[in-house]
Structure 1
Amino acid sequence: MSTELLRRGERVVVASAGQERLWLIEETSQGTATYNVPVFLTWRERIDVVALESALEFVVERHEALRTAYELRDGRLLQIVCDPQAPPIEVIEAESTARVRAEAVRRGREPFDLAKGTVLRCVVWRGSPDGDALLLVVHHIAVDGWSLGPLLDDLAVAYDAALRGERPSVDGLPVQYADFAVWDRAMARTPDIQRALQERSGQLLESSGELLLDGCSGRPAVDEGGRRGRQRDFPVPPEVSARVGQLSLSLRATPFVLWFAAVQATLYRWSGRRDFLVGAVTANRSHPMLERLVGFFANTVPLRCAVDPERSFAELCRNARAEAFRSLSHQKLPFDQLTTAVNAARGTGRSALINVGFVHQAPPTGHHRWDPPAELPTGTAKFDLMVIINEVGDDLTVTIEYDTDRYSDDACDRFGRTLVELLTAAVGDPDRPLTEFLGEPPAVQGAAPAPAPRKRENAPLTEEQRRAAELFAAVLSGGGRHFGGGGSHELTADANFFVLGGHSLLAVSMLAEAERRYGVELSPRVFLADPTVAGLAQALTAAEVRRDAPAAVVDDGPRPATSAQQRFWLLDRMPWLRPAYLSPTVVELADGTDHEALRRAVDTVLARHPALRSRFTLDRKERRVQYRTDGAPAVTTITRSPNDPPEHLARTCTTPFDLAEEAPVRADILCLDDRTLLALVPHHIVVDGWSAGILLDQIATVYRQDGDLAEPVHPAAVAEPVDAHRVQAVVERLRGAPLDPPLPHDRPRGELQSTRAATVSARIGDDHLRRLRQVAVDELGCSTFVIAATLMGAALARGGGRDFLLAFPWSGRESTGAADAVGMFVNTLVVRVDLTGEPTWRELLARVRDDAQAAYRDATAPYDAVVETLHPTRDLGRPPLTPLYVTSAKEPDLPAPFVRQLAPDPLFIKYELELTAIESGDDLELELAYAPALFDEHTARGLLDAMVAAAADLSEHPDSQP
Structure 2
Amino acid sequence: MQLVPRRAAATAPLSLLQQRMWHLCTAYPGTASPIVVIANRITEPLDVPTFTAAVAALADRHDALRTTFTVGTDGPRQVIGPPGGLATEFVDVSGGTDAEGRARSLVAELAGALLDLDGGTLTRSRLIRLGPDDHVWCLALHHLLADGESAMVLQRDAAALYRGTPLPEPPIGYADFAAWQCADGADDGELRWWAERLRGVPPLELPTDLPRPPVKSTRGGQLDVRLDASDTQALEHFARQMRATPFMALVTALLAVLARRSGQTDLCLGTPVSGRLLEETEDAVGLFSNMIALRADLSDEPSLGELLGRVRAVVIDALARQAVPFGQVVAAVNPAEDRSRTPVFQVIVSLHTQTSGGAGADLDWRPFGQATAQILHDLVLDAWRGPDGLSLTLRYDTGLFTAATAEELAGEVLTVLRDLPGDPELPVRALAARHG
Deviation at 1:843, TM superposition (A): 2.1
Answer yes or no: is 1:955 the counterpart of 2:421.
Answer: yes
Q: 2:379 aligns with which of 913, 918, 927?
A: 913
Q: Which moved more, 1:719-728 or 1:690-699?
A: 719-728
After superposition, where does 1:505-544 map in structure 2 within 5 Å?
none
C-alpha separation in 2, matches of 1:906 and 1:951: 25
User: Deviation digits for residues 405-458 of structure 1, max 9, x if unmatched?
Assistant: xxxxxxxxxxxxxxxxxxxxxxxxxxxxxxxxxxxxxxxxxxxxxxxxxxxxxx
The residue that corresponds to 2:312 in the other structure is: 849
1:28-427 paired onto structure 2 within 5 Å: none
- CA gap of 1:862–1:552, structure 2 versus 1, over 3 A, is closer
Q: Structure 1 residues 572 and 957, CA, compared in 2 at 3 Å: closer, same or farther?
A: closer
Tell me the residue number matched to 1:159. Answer: none
* 1:867 to 1:575, Cα distance in 2 relative to 1, 3 A: closer
Give CA-to-partner distance per residue, 1:298-345, whole Å, 9 cap, x none: xxxxxxxxxxxxxxxxxxxxxxxxxxxxxxxxxxxxxxxxxxxxxxxx
| Residue type at the aligned position of 1:940 | A
CA contact (8 A) 2:32 2:115 kept: no
Contact 2:250 2:417 in 1 (8 A): no
**Residue matched to 2:251:** 789
Kindly provide the amino acid, as one letter, of the partner of residue 289 in structure 2.
Answer: V
Q: Deviations over 1:609-637 (max 9, x none)?
A: 122222322341xx343223244532211
The one of 584, 587, 592 aligned to 2:45: 592
Once residues 557 and 901 of structure 1 are traced to their aligned partners in structure 2, the CA distance between those partners, rounded to angstroms, is 34
Measured after TM superposition, the shift of residue 557 of structure 1 is: 4.6
Matched, 1:727 2:180: no
Contact 2:31 2:218 in 1 (8 A): no
Q: Which residue pairs with 2:431 in the alignment?
A: none
1:568 touches 1:581 (CA, 8 Å); kept in 2? no
Structure 2 equivalent of residue 681 of structure 1: 140
- 1:320 is aligned to none
Corresponding residue number in structure 2 for 1:829: 292
Match of 2:51, SS state, is: helix
Equivalents in 2 of 1:676, 1:843: separation in Å?
A: 50
**1:607 Cα deviation (Å)?**
1.7
Matched to 1:936, the amino acid is: T
Secondary structure, counterpart of 1:851 in structure 2: helix
Q: CA deviation at 1:888?
A: 0.8
Q: Cα–Cα, structure 1 residues 574 and 636, in superposed 2: closer, same or farther, change >3 Å?
A: farther
1:874 to 309, 320, 337: 337
**Does the 8 Å contact 1:580/1:910 carry over to 2?**
no
Work out whether residues 710 and 820 of structure 1, in 8 Å CA contact, stay in contact via their aligned partners in 2: no
Q: Which amino acid in the other structure matches residue 915 of structure 1?
A: L
Aligned to 1:701: 160
Query: Are the counterparts in 2 of residues 764 and 948 from structure 1 also a CA contact under 8 Å?
Result: yes
1:640 corresponds in structure 2 to: 92
Q: Give the conservation status (yes or no) of the 8 Å contact 1:615–1:664.
A: yes
Structure 1 stretches of at least 4 aligned residues deviating more than 6 Å after TM superposition: none
Structure 1 residue 647, shift from structure 2 partner: 4.0
Paired position in structure 2 for 1:625: 76
The residue that corresponds to 2:434 in the other structure is none
Give the residue type in structure 2 aligned to 1:586.
A
Contact 2:24–2:376, Cα closer than 8 Å, also in 1: no
| 8 Å CA contact retained: 2:19, 2:327 | no
Query: Whole-Å Cα distance in 2 between the matches of residues 655 and 573 of structure 1?
Result: 15
Distance 1:664 1:598 in 2: 21
The equivalent position to 1:940 in structure 2, one of 406, 410, 434, is: 406
Give, in whole Å, the separation in 2 of the partners of 1:716 and 1:666. Answer: 20
Distance in 1 between the 2:33 and 2:115 partners? 12
Q: How far is 1:921 from its partner?
A: 3.4
Q: 1:649 to 1:774 in 2, by over 3 A?
A: closer
**Does the CA contact (< 8 Å) of 1:637 and 1:668 recur in 2?**
yes
Residue 767 and residue 614 in structure 1: after superposition, are their counterparts in 2 closer, same or farther (change >3 A)? closer
1:801 corresponds in structure 2 to: 264
Give distance in 2, aligned partners of 1:821 and 1:625.
22
Distance 1:820 1:578 in 2: 32
TM-score in terms of structure 1 length: 0.40
| Cα distance change, pair 754–817 in 1 and its aligned pair in 2 (3 A) | same
Q: Which amino acid aligns with 1:693?
A: M
* TM-superposed deviation, 1:922: 6.5
- CA shift in 2, pair 1:791/1:811, >3 Å: same
Measured after TM superposition, the shift of residue 784 of structure 1 is: 2.6
CA shift at 1:775, angstroms?
A: 2.0
In structure 1, C-alpha distance between the alignment counterparts of 2:155 and 2:196, rounded to whole Å: 41
Corresponding residue number in structure 1 for 2:99: none
- Tell me if structure 2 keeps the 8 A contact 1:587–1:902: yes
Tell whether 2:108 aligns with 1:657: no
Q: Deviations over 1:767-811 (max 9, x none)?
A: 4333322221x2233223222111110111221222211111121
C-alpha change, 1:646 and 1:821, in structure 2 (3 Å) is closer
Report if aligned partners of 1:840, 1:958 keep a CA contact under 8 Å in 2.
yes
- Contact 1:769–1:955 (Cα < 8 Å) also in 2: no
> Which deviations, in whole Å up to 9, do the C-alpha atoms of 1:858-883 show, x marking residues without a partner?
22323223223435333322222221
Deviation at 1:559, TM superposition (A): 2.2
1:612 and 1:663 in contact (8 A); partners too: no
Which residue does 2:18 correspond to in 1?
565
Q: Which residue of 1 aligns with 2:223?
A: 760
Is the CA contact (8 Å cut-off) linking 2:25 and 2:33 kept in structure 1? no
**CA–CA separation in structure 2 for the residues paired with 1:930 and 1:786:** 22
Question: Are positions 1:772 and 2:235 aligned together?
Answer: yes
Q: Report the RMSD for the aligned CA atoms in angstroms.
A: 2.6
Range with bigger deviation, 831-840 or 667-676: 667-676
Q: Is the 8 A contact 2:266 2:295 kept in 1?
A: yes
The residue aligned with 1:817 is 280
Q: For 2:268 and 2:284, how far apart are their aligned partners in 1?
A: 31
Larger relative contact order, structure 1 or 2 (CA cutoff 8 Å, min sep 6): 2
Distance (whole Å) between structure 2 residues aligned to residue 631 and residue 785 of structure 1: 42
C-alpha displacement of 1:942: 0.9
The equivalent of 1:612 in structure 2 is: 65
1:906 & 1:817 partners in 2: Cα distance? 30
**Structure 1 stretches lacking a partner, 5+ long:** 1-543
- Tell me: CA distance 1:834–1:611, structure 2 relative to 1, closer, same or farther (3 Å): same
Indicate conservation of the 8 Å contact 2:124/2:139, yes or no.
yes
Query: 1:812 deviation in Å?
Result: 1.2
Amino acid of the residue matched to residue 78 of structure 2?
Y
Q: 1:823 corresponds to which letter in structure 2?
A: G
1:839 paired residue among 297, 302, 307 = 302
Shift of the 825–906 alpha-carbon distance from structure 1 to 2, 3 Å rule, reads: closer
> Measured at CA, do residues 842 and 575 of structure 1 come closer, stay the same or move farther in structure 2, by a change above 3 Å?
closer
Number of residues paired by the alignment? 410
Match of 1:137 in 2: none
